[in-house]
């Protein structure tokens, strides 16, 4: 019996050794330079072990190679790491039909909301949903939703005035402030409800937002399992996101749609657009056939992904921009001067959609913050049809097979000194009218690249612009005792672009300066 046990152990060890060698020499066999991974942890061991932030890891991997394409390992999965802007253009734009899909990590068999969202949908179904949702982000729709954004943004200013009343200044952790504001904006523009998360600290919608965007160890483990061990995750019925939050979202969206249809209520938001897409809009004839046969889960999923995509990421973008304005007072004062010009031109009238979108320096400031501190460290694609592409540097042909994973290192390419000299210097003038045309295509891609870029990028920019307009117009952002200069990235939440120790900024009422 003892010898049989030893034999079994030997066989298991042998098979495991063979699997490790076969898996982690994938690129070596293809003659492609690659990272030396830790088995099962792959190239992202430092993120999994909370030793480094993903932005810094992607940047480090990018600098590790000098070739157009390299190999890394996403846990146990070989992944092509694309460093060349030309090849990024090939994959993301020119040969898009061969790389149409994202890597899916939802549990598709359980029809969870994330799996039915635009981010996860594949092939023709993704195309149909994209065309369904695109009208929600046209200029006319954004102009309508701007009023909701402006109302929440002004509410944030009122809250700050109340907090610092009678004080020369006050240190505030800005990320929490901005998250509460983005929560209220999402509640209004996507779900059609009004919340006040700055004053009603624990309202139900705010709690749901936190629930679905808090990536603790357990959530990260679930994502790891459903991404790398799909059969096991299906058999175990693993759900990445809280069922409680998903059910709340379903009740909220479907209840609002029914009430609006019955009461003939029109409101220019995402729910109304989804009602129109399903033939249940207020102005649609009863029984009118929808353009696409979307089920309830697929409809609700689009509001759900709007929440996931907009809550944390927009708050991060505003926080990072505010941090840089606090560190770079000259940039802050130049922005304040532009804001004053706009206010003067409005002559006491409310801020308009046209005015906020005609502020070149504000656009430069946000663009530079997104370059230096990308909300998403990378983006991905999966090869859907085999194709051969030529390496633009060596001319060597690289064959991508169906199912191959692709990673585009946003953080690395946007911090490459070849494309952005002194990359860690905050310089909004890189994006001014004279310099912007010199930026090499596919080197500035904070919202992704090609037809599968972020559908809500214009909405996101509008939100960030409006919040900053009100904030910098009314308050001076200065360093405080808790401020960290220069900003360091948090390693305890490595998959988010967060500041170590928080975004602490001293806020001063400009009227008292």
Tell me: do 351 and 248 sit in the same domain: yes
Tell me: do 270 and 351 sit in the same domain: yes
Tell me: do 293 and 323 sit in the same domain: yes
CA atoms within 13 Å, Cβ hemisphere of 357: 13
Averages of pLDDT over each 10 residues, the chain, 513 residues = 50 45 77 87 87 96 96 92 97 97 69 84 92 86 92 96 92 96 93 93 92 71 65 62 83 88 83 76 50 79 88 95 98 98 96 97 98 97 96 89 97 98 98 95 97 95 98 97 94 90 96 83
25 phi and psi angles, rounded to 5 deg: -120, 20
435 phi and psi angles, rounded to 5 deg: -90, -25
Q: How many helices (H) and strands (E) does the chain have?
A: 20, 9
Give the whole-angstrom CA distance, residue 123 versus residue 99: 10
Residue 294: the pLDDT is: 81
Asked whether the beta carbons of 374 and 414 are under 8 A apart, the reply is yes
Tell me: do 56 and 1 sit in the same domain: no
Q: At what angle do helices 123-133 and 270-277 cross, to 10 degrees?
A: 120
Residue 191: the pLDDT is: 87
Give the whole-angstrom CA distance, residue 417 versus residue 398: 26
Q: For the purposes of burial, counting CB atoms within 10 Å of the CB of 39, is it exposed (0-12), middle (13-18) or buried (19 or more)?
A: middle
Tell me: do 17 and 119 sit in the same domain: no
Tell me: do 22 and 110 sit in the same domain: no
Give the whole-angstrom CA distance, residue 42 versus residue 488: 24
pTM (two decimals): 0.91
Helical (H) or strand (E) element with 82: strand 77-82
Tell me: do 20 and 79 sit in the same domain: no
Residue 11: the pLDDT is: 45
Tell me: do 116 and 149 sit in the same domain: yes
**Residue 296 CB coordination number (10 Å):** 13
Tell me: do 73 and 8 sit in the same domain: no
Tell me: do 13 and 141 sit in the same domain: no
Tell me: do 339 and 371 sit in the same domain: yes
Asked whether the beta carbons of 59 and 373 are under 8 A apart, the reply is no
Read off the CATH number of the domain in which 227 is found: 1.10.630.10
- Domain range for 10: 1-26
Residue 234: the pLDDT is: 64
How many domains does one find in the chain? Answer: 2
Tell me: do 6 and 110 sit in the same domain: no
Compute CA 336 distance to the chain's CA centroid, rounded to the nearest angstrom.
28
């Amino acid at each position: 019996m003892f010898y049989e046990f030893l034999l079994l152990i030997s066989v298991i060890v042998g098979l495991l050794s063979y699997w490790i060698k076969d898996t982690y020499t994938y690129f070596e066999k293809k003659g492609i330079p690659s990272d030396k991974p830790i088995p099962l942890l792959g190239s992202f061991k430092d993120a999994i072990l909370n030793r480094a932030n993903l932005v810094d890891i992607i940047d480090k991997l990018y600098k590790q190679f000098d070739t157009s394409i390299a190999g890394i390992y996403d846990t146990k999965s070989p992944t092509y790491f694309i460093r060349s802007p030309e090849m990024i253009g090939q994959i993301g734009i020119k040969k898009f039909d061969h790389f149409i899909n994202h890597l899916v990590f939802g549990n598709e068999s359980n029809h969870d909301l994330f799996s039915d969202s635009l981010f996860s949908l594949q092939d023709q179904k993704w195309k149909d949903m994209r065309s369904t949702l695109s009208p929600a982000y046209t200029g006319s729709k954004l102009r309508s939703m701007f009023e909701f954004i402006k109302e929440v943004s002004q509410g944030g200013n009122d809250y700050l005035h109340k907090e610092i009343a009678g004080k020369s200044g006050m240190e505030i952790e800005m990320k929490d402030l901005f998250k509460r504001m983005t929560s209220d904006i999402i509640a209004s523009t996507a779900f059609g409800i009004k919340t006040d998360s700055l004053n009603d600290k624990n309202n139900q919608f705010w709690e749901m937002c936190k629930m679905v965007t808090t990536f603790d160890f357990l959530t990260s483990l679930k994502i790891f399992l459903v991404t790398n061990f799909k059969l096991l995750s299906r058999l175990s019925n693993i759900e990445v996101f809280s069922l409680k939050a998903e059910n709340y979202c379903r009740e909220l969206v479907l209840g609002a749609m029914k009430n609006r249809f019955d009461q003939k209520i029109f409101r220019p938001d995402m729910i109304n657009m989804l009602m129109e897409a399903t033939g249940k809009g207020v102005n649609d004839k009863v029984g009118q056939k929808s353009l696409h046969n979307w089920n309830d889960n697929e409809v609700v999923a689009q509001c759900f992904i709007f929440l996931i995509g907009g809550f944390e990421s927009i708050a991060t973008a505003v926080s990072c921009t505010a941090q840089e304005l606090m560190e770079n007072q000259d940039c802050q004062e130049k922005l304040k001067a532009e804001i004053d010009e706009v206010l003067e031109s409005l002559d006491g009238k409310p801020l308009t959609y046209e005015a906020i979108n005609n502020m070149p320096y504000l656009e430069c400031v946000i663009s530079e913050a997104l370059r230096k501190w990308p909300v998403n460290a990378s983006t991905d694609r999966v090869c859907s049809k085999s194709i051969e592409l030529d390496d633009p540097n060596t001319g060597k042909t690289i064959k991508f097979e169906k199912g191959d994973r692709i990673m585009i290192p946003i953080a690395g390419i946007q911090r490459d000194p070849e494309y952005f000299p002194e990359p860690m210097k905050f310089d909004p003038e890189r994006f001014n009218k004279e310099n912007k045309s010199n930026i090499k295509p596919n080197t500035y891609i904070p919202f992704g690249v090609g037809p599968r870029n972020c559908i809500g990028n214009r909405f996101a920019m509008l939100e960030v612009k409006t919040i900053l307009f009100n904030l910098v117009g009314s308050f001076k952002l200065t360093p405080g005792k808790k401020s960290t200069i220069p900003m360091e990235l948090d390693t305890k939440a490595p998959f988010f672009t967060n500041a170590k120790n928080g975004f602490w900024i001293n806020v001063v009422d400009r009227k008292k300066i």
